[in-house]
Amino acid sequence: MAGFGKAMACRQHVRTRLGTRFMSSSSSSWWQSVEPAPKDPILGVTEAFLADPSPDKVNVGVGAYRDDNGKPVVLQCVREAERRIAGNLNMEYLPMGGSVKMVEETLKLAYGENSEFIKDKRIAAVQSLSGTGACRLFADFQKRFRPDSQIHIPVPTWANHHNIWRDAQVPQRTYHYYHPESKGLDFSALMDDIKNAPNGSFFLLHACAHNPTGVDPSEEQWREISHQFKVKGHFAFFDMAYQGFASGDPDRDAKSIRIFLQDGHHIGISQSYAKNMGLYGQRVGCLSVLCEDEKQAVAVKSQLQQLARPMYSNPPVHGALVVSTILGDPELKKLWLKEVKVMADRIIGMRSALRENLEKLGSPLSWKHITDQIGMFCYSGMTPEQVDRLTKEFHIYMTRNGRISMAGITTGNVGYLANAINEVTSSA
Amino acid sequence: MESSSVFANIVRAPEDPILGVTVAYNKDSSPHKLNLGVGAYRTEEGKPLVLNVVRRAEQMLVNDSSRVKEYLPIVGLADFNKLSAKLIFGADSPAIQENRVTTVQCLSGTGSLRVGAEFLARHYHQLVIYIPNPTWGNHTKIFGLAGLSVKAYRYYDPATRGLDFQGLLEDLGAAPSGSIVLLHACAHNPTGVDPTIEQWEQIRQLMRSKGLLPFFDSAYQGFASGSLDADAGSVRMFVADGGECLAAQSYAKNMGLYGERVGALSMVCKTADVASRVESQLKLVIRPMYSNPPIHGASIVATILKDRDMYNEWTVELKAMADRIISMRQKLFDALSARGTPGDWSHIIKQIGMFTFTGLNTEQVAFMTKEYHIYMTSDGRISMAGLSSRTVPLLADAIHAAVTRVG
Output the pLDDT for position B406: 87
Output the pLDDT for position A11: 33
Q: Mean pLDDT over residues B35-58, rounded?
A: 91
Nearest chain B CA: its distance from A130 CA (Å) = 7
Average pLDDT, rounded, for chain A: 91
Taking the alpha carbons of B121, B127, B132, B138 in that order, is the dihedral positive or negative? positive
Q: Mean pLDDT over residues B106-130, rounded?
A: 97
Name the residue type at position A197.
A
Whether residue A20 has pLDDT greater than 80: no
Output the pLDDT for position A90: 81
Given CB atoms, is B54 within the 8 Å cutoff of chain A?
yes
Q: Mean pLDDT over residues B67-74, rounded?
A: 88
Output the pLDDT for position B251: 98
Q: Mean pLDDT over residues A349-359, rounded?
A: 97
CATH number 3.40.1190.20 given to B19-50+323-402:
no
Nearest chain B CA: its distance from A237 CA (Å) = 12
More confident residue, A177 or A45: A177
Q: Mean pLDDT over residues A192-205, rounded?
A: 97
Torsion (CA) A348, A352, A354, A356 in degrees, nearest 10: 180
Residues 98-137 of B with CB under 8 A from A: 107-108, 110-111, 114, 121-126
Q: Which residues of B touch A40 (CB under 8 A)?
A: 74, 283, 287
- List active site positions of A: 158, 239, 275
Which pLDDT band holds residue B141 (cuts at 50, 70, 90)?
very high
Output the pLDDT for position B243: 94
Q: Does B114 sit within 8 Å of A312, measured CB to CB?
A: yes
Whether residue A16 has pLDDT greater than 60: no
Output the pLDDT for position A51: 92
A348 φ, ψ (degrees, to nearest 5): -60, -40
pLDDT digits (tens, 9 = 90+) for B231-271: 999 999 999 999 999 999 999 999 999 999 999 999 999 99
Catalytic residue among B253, B314, B331, B345: B253
Q: Does B261 sit within 8 Å of A91, measured CB to CB?
A: no
Considering only CB atoms, B280 lies closest to which of A15, A37, A133, namely A37
pTM reported for the whole predicted model: 0.92
**What SS3 state is found at B130?**
strand
HEC string of A314-330? CCCHHHHHHHHHHHCCH
Which pLDDT band holds residue B9 (cuts at 50, 70, 90)?
confident
Ranges for all domains in chain B classified under CATH 3.40.640.10: 71-306
Whether residue A26 has pLDDT greater than 90: no
Rounded to whole angstroms, how far apart are CA atoms A214 and B255?
Answer: 44
Half-sphere exposure of B318 (CA within 13 A, CB side): 26
Given CB atoms, is B20 within the 8 Å cutoff of chain A?
no
Whether residue A12 has pLDDT greater than 50: no
Which pLDDT band holds residue B61 (cuts at 50, 70, 90)?
very high
Given CB atoms, is B359 within the 8 Å cutoff of chain A?
no
Q: Which residues of B touch A17 (CB under 8 A)?
A: 125
Average pLDDT, rounded, for chain B: 94
| CB burial string B154-183: b at 16+ within 10 A, e below | bbbbeeebbbbbeebbebbeebeebbbbbb
Computed on alpha carbons and rounded to an integer, the radius of gyration of chain B in Å comes to: 22
pLDDT digits (tens, 9 = 90+) for B275-309: 999 999 999 999 999 999 999 999 999 999 999 99
C-beta separation of B267 from B246 below 8 A: yes
Ranges for all domains in chain B classified under CATH 3.90.1150.10: 19-50+323-402
pLDDT digits (tens, 9 = 90+) for A218-271: 999 999 999 999 999 999 999 999 999 999 999 999 999 999 999 999 999 999
More confident residue, A7 or A122: A122
Name the residue of chain A whose CA is nearest to B109's CA.
Answer: A312
Which pLDDT band holds residue A25 (cuts at 50, 70, 90)?
very low
Rounded to whole angstroms, how far apart are CA atoms B150 and B129?
Answer: 5
Output the pLDDT for position A63: 78
Name the residue of chain A whose CA is nearest to B283's CA.
Answer: A37
C-beta separation of A256 from A207 below 8 A: yes
Whether residue A21 has pLDDT greater than 70: no
Q: Above pLDDT 70, what percent of chain B?
A: 99
Output the pLDDT for position A36: 81
Which pLDDT band holds residue B54 (cuts at 50, 70, 90)?
very high
Q: Mean pLDDT over residues B202-211, rounded?
A: 97
More confident residue, B405 or A35: B405
Beta bridge partners, A405, equal A377
| CB burial string B244-268: b at 16+ within 10 A, e below | bbbbbbbbbbbbbbbbbbbbbbbbb
Show Cβ contacts of residue A139 under 8 Å, excluding neighbours closer than 6 positions: A151, A164, A165, A167, A168, A170
Q: Does B70 sit within 8 Å of A64, measured CB to CB?
A: yes
Nearest chain B CA: its distance from A364 CA (Å) = 38
Output the pLDDT for position B46: 85
Q: Mean pLDDT over residues A59-71, rounded?
A: 89
Nearest chain B CA: its distance from A366 CA (Å) = 34
CB burial class (10 A; 0-12, 13-18, 19+) of residue A188?
A: exposed
Rounded to whole angstroms, how far apart are CA atoms B107 and B250?
Answer: 8
C-beta separation of B75 from B282 below 8 A: yes
Which of B317, B366, B398 has the alpha carbon at shortest distance from B52?
A: B317
Q: Does A300 sit within 8 Å of B7, measured CB to CB?
A: yes
C-beta separation of A334 from A315 below 8 A: no
- Is B136 in the active site? yes
Fold of B71-306: Aspartate Aminotransferase; domain 2 (3.40.640)
Q: How far is CA A78 from CA A165, A240, A321, B69, B71, in A?
A: 32, 21, 10, 10, 16
More confident residue, B406 or A112: A112
User: Which domains does chain A carry?
Assistant: 41-73+343-426 (3.90.1150.10), 94-328 (3.40.640.10)
pLDDT digits (tens, 9 = 90+) for B207-230: 999 999 999 999 999 999 999 999
Rounded to whole angstroms, how far apart are CA atoms A153 and B286?
Answer: 21
Strand ranges inside A339-407, DSSP E: 377-379, 396-397, 403-405
pLDDT digits (tens, 9 = 90+) for B342-390: 999 999 999 999 999 999 999 999 999 999 999 999 999 999 989 999 9
Q: Mean pLDDT over residues B82-92, rounded?
A: 97
Q: Mean pLDDT over residues A12-17, rounded?
A: 38
More confident residue, B4 or A265: A265
Name the residue type at position B25.
Y
Which pLDDT band holds residue B4 (cuts at 50, 70, 90)?
low
Q: Which residues of A touch B280 (CB under 8 A)?
A: 36-37
Q: How many CB pairs (< 8 A) connect A and B?
A: 262
Nearest chain A CA: its distance from B229 CA (Å) = 26
Catalytic residue among B136, B200, B314, B345: B136
pLDDT digits (tens, 9 = 90+) for A407-419: 999 999 999 999 9
Q: Does B71 sit within 8 Å of A280, measured CB to CB?
A: yes
Cis check: omega of the bond before B293, within 30 degrees of 0? no
